[in-house]
Structure 1
Amino acid sequence: MTAQALVGAPGTLLRHELRLLASIVLWAARRTHGTREGHPFGYVRGQGALLLGLGFVCVVETVGLAVLLRPWPVAHAVMLALDVYAVLMVVGLHAASVTRPHVLTPTALRLRRATQVDLSIPLERIARVRRELRTTHERAEGVLDLPVGAQTSVTLELTEPVTHVPLFGRPRPVAVVRFHTDDADRFVAALGHAVR
């Protein structure tokens, strides 16, 4: 990470966490973010069990530390606040995944993963789309992998690169994007129809 990225990291992290909290409100209201102009495609089923397990572990840790730290009120209060915040962030991550699906519009494909990734690809840059299940992903130049539950189910090849701006780090061009959607067959058919 560059020095410039480190300077901007606290603000980026704060914006990310505020989006997670806002996603909880959207989830409770049964609303989605940025789906009015297109057709949404969810990706949350691939990670539901993992997040449920992580949330359960956080709750067990909260209860266990509350019992262990009862003789030390200050430590108990600090750890309780941190643990409750951790549980809230896990719920926020799930809520963001539900409320921020991929969106196919008449002009672009918007790929998202919770609040960490929001990549817009103009439809005219999509050369090929295919259903391709992958469970291993090695870093490669010009390739963006967005696995959910350690897998991707769709591969896009682009005619020219688009710029991906990660949560932390430098923007980079990508010409191949692999991601997951809950209904890959329906997604591939819809995108294939849209780019004809």
Structure 2
Amino acid sequence: MILLRLARRAVVYEIGTWRSLARWLRRRPDVAAGADAFPYASAVSPVLWTFVVLSAVEIPLVDLLLPWPSLRAALLVAGVYGLLWMVGLLASMTVYPHAVDGDGLRVRSGFSVDVRVPWAAIAAVRVRRRSVEGSRTVVVEEGERRAVSVTVVSSTQVDVELRTPLVLPLARTGGRPVDELRLAADDPAALVRRLRQGIADHAAAAAPDGEAR
């Protein structure tokens, strides 16, 4: 059962990587009409591009150095596959940015994390740079307030405080509600400004007529 679940997850991840690459090549980010996009991949992009360049250099070198045609062919296929897979991984973090629209905040991490937080659930937002232990993308931190971090290079820059504990569709949370969502963003100040504007607009729209005036 566990092996089947892992195999299914691997297939889903593989399909997602190639779909991301296709979107990236067509320059079609997954952002709904009218939504504001906020990228988050700048910290990891140089690292991934370094691996891509090194792999691109390695492929012809291996082909030149090895004397066995069958082994050269096998390594050529593996090398090209690995190169495209890394580009697809980078593409996934580019074509699936965070987004803010009339419904609230959409937090992404490639194609594997997609969390929507409605305006009514957001109490406050702030820029706060944090380092997160470990290398996982999603990290749950226990404490007085239970927080879930969606990291890039083991860090986050924006805290989203929730009005009441909320169950988010993230396996790492174990179905338990969290009090705070933390995420990475290339321009955290711009994201926080946009979120604060959205919170204020939602509050004004939800207030009775007398209070709205």
Q: TM-score, normalised by structure 2?
A: 0.79
AA in 2 matched with 1:93: L
Unaligned runs of 5+ in 2: 201-213
Q: Does 1:114 align with 2:110?
A: yes
Runs of 4+ residues deviating >3 angstroms: 136-139, 168-174
How many pairs were matched up? 191
Q: Which structure exhibits the higher relative contact order, with contacts defined as CA atoms closer than 8 Å and separated by 6 or more residues?
A: 1
- Partners of 1:25 and 1:118 in 2: CA distance: 19
Q: Does 1:59 align with 2:56?
A: yes
Root-mean-square deviation (CA, aligned residues, Å) is 2.3
Q: Cα distance, 1:86 vs. partner?
A: 1.1
Alignment identity in percent? 28
AA in 2 matched with 1:18: I
Q: Cα distance, 1:46 vs. partner?
A: 1.9
- Partners of 2:55 and 2:131 in 1: CA distance: 27
| 8 Å Cα contact 1:121-1:162 kept in structure 2 | no
- Partners of 2:112 and 2:6 in 1: CA distance: 13
**Larger Cα-atom Rg:** 2
Unaligned runs of 5+ in 1: none
AA in 1 matched with 2:110: A
- Partners of 2:152 and 2:37 in 1: CA distance: 17
Q: TM-score, normalised by structure 1?
A: 0.85
Partner of 1:98: 94
Partner of 1:152: 156
- Partners of 2:188 and 2:13 in 1: CA distance: 28
Match of 2:197 among 182, 188, 193: 193
- Partners of 2:127 and 2:80 in 1: CA distance: 39
Q: 1:91 to 1:61 in 2, by over 3 A?
A: same
Match of 2:67 among 68, 71, 82: 71
Q: Cα distance, 1:12 vs. partner?
A: 2.1
